[in-house]
Chains A and B, each alone.
Chain A
Amino acid sequence: MVTIDPVAPRGGRPRLPIAEVRWSTVLAPVLLGVIVVVAWETFVDQADIKPFILPAPSAIWDQVTANRESIVSGARVTGGNALWGMLGGALLGVVGAAVAGTFRFVDQMAAPVVAALAVIPIVALAPVLYSMFGAAVNSGRIIVAGISVAIPVYLNTLRGIRQVRAVHRDLMTAYAASPLQRIRAVTLPTATPYVFTGLRIASSLAVIAALIAEYFGGPIGGLGKSITSSAASSNYPLAWAYVTGAIGLGLLFYVVTLLAELWFSRHQPAP
Chain B
Amino acid sequence: MNQHASQHAIAVAGVRRVFGKGRKQVIALEDVDLVVGAGEFVSLIGPSGCGKSTLLRLVADLDTATAGTLEIFGKPARRARLDQDYGIAFQQAGLLPWRTVAGNVELPLKLHGVASAQRKARVAELLDLVGLSDFAKNHPDQLSGGMQQRVAIARALAESPRLLLMDEPFGALDEITRERMQNELVRICAETGAAVLFVTHSIPEAVFLSDRVVVMSPRPGRITGVVDVRADGLAGAHDRTERARDEEGFFRAVAEVRGLLHGAPVATVAADGLEK
Binding site for B on A (CB under 8 A): 1-3, 5-11, 13-14, 165, 167-168, 170-171, 173-177, 181, 185-186, 189, 192, 267-268
A225 to B97, CA, bound (A): 47
Instruction: Specify which chain B residues have a CB less than 8 angstroms from the CB of A8 in the assembled complex.
Output: 138, 142-143
Q: A7-B144, A185-B111 in contact; A267/B97 too (CB < 8 A)?
A: yes
Q: Are A175 and B98 in contact (CB under 8 A)?
A: no
With contacts A170-B62, A189-B96 taken as known, whether A1 is within 8 angstroms of B134 at the C-beta atoms is no
Query: B-side interface residues toward A, CB under 8 Å?
Result: 60-62, 81-82, 84, 86, 88, 90, 92, 94, 96-98, 107-108, 111-112, 131, 133-135, 137-144, 146-147, 180, 184, 187
- Residues of chain B lying within 8 A (CB to CB) of residue A185: 96, 107, 111
A3 to chain B, nearest CB (A): 5
Find the B residue at minimum CB distance from A6: B144
- Structural contact, A14 and B90, CB atoms closer than 8 A: no
Contact B84 A11 (CB under 8 A): no
Whether B135 lies near A10 (C-beta < 8 A) is yes
Q: What 5 A-B pairs come out closest when comparing CB atoms? A: A167-B94, A8-B142, A2-B131, A267-B97, A189-B98
27 contacts between A and B (CB under 8 A): A5-B146, A7-B144, A7-B147, A8-B143, A10-B134, A10-B135, A11-B138, A13-B137, A167-B94, A170-B60, A171-B90, A171-B94, A173-B62, A173-B81, A174-B62, A174-B81, A174-B86, A174-B88, A175-B84, A176-B82, A176-B84, A185-B96, A192-B98, A267-B98, A267-B139, A267-B140, A268-B98
Across the interface, name the chain A residue whose C-beta is closest to B147: A5
Which residues on B sit within 8 Å (CB–CB) of A181?
Answer: 111
> Closest B-chain residue to A2, C-beta based?
B131
Nearest CB of B to A193, in Å: 9
Q: Would A177 and B111 count as touching, CB distance under 8 A?
A: yes
B64 to chain A, nearest CB (A): 12
Q: Using Cβ atoms and an 8 Å threshold, which residues of chain A touch B60?
A: 170, 174
The closest CB in chain A to the CB of B184 belongs to A1
User: For A3, A9, A170, which residue has the most chain B Cβ atoms within 10 angstroms?
Assistant: A3
Give the distance in Å from the alpha carbon of A165 to the alpha carbon of B95 in the complex. Answer: 11
Given contacts A7-B143, A165-B94, A189-B98, 11 further A-B contacts (CB under 8 A): A1-B131, A3-B180, A3-B184, A7-B144, A167-B92, A174-B62, A174-B88, A175-B108, A181-B111, A186-B96, A268-B98
Contact B111 A167 (CB under 8 A): no
Cβ of B96 and Cβ of A168 under 8 Å apart?
A: yes
- State the Cβ distance, A228 to closest chain B Cβ, in Å: 46
Docked pose: A1 CA to B190 CA in angstroms = 14
Check B139–A14 contact: CB distance below 8 A: yes
Q: Cβ of A11: which chain B residues have Cβ within 8 Å of it?
A: 134-135, 137-138
> What residues of chain A lie closer than 8 Å to B131, measured between beta carbons?
1-3
Least CB distance, A8 to chain B, in whole angstroms: 4
Chain A residues, CB < 8 A from B81 = 173-174, 176
User: Which A residues touch B135, using CB under 8 A?
Assistant: 7, 10-11
Instruction: Kindly list chain A residues whose C-beta atoms are within 8 Å of the C-beta of B84.
Output: 175-176
Give the residues in chain A near B62, CB-CB below 8 Å.
170, 173-174
Closest to A172 in B: B111
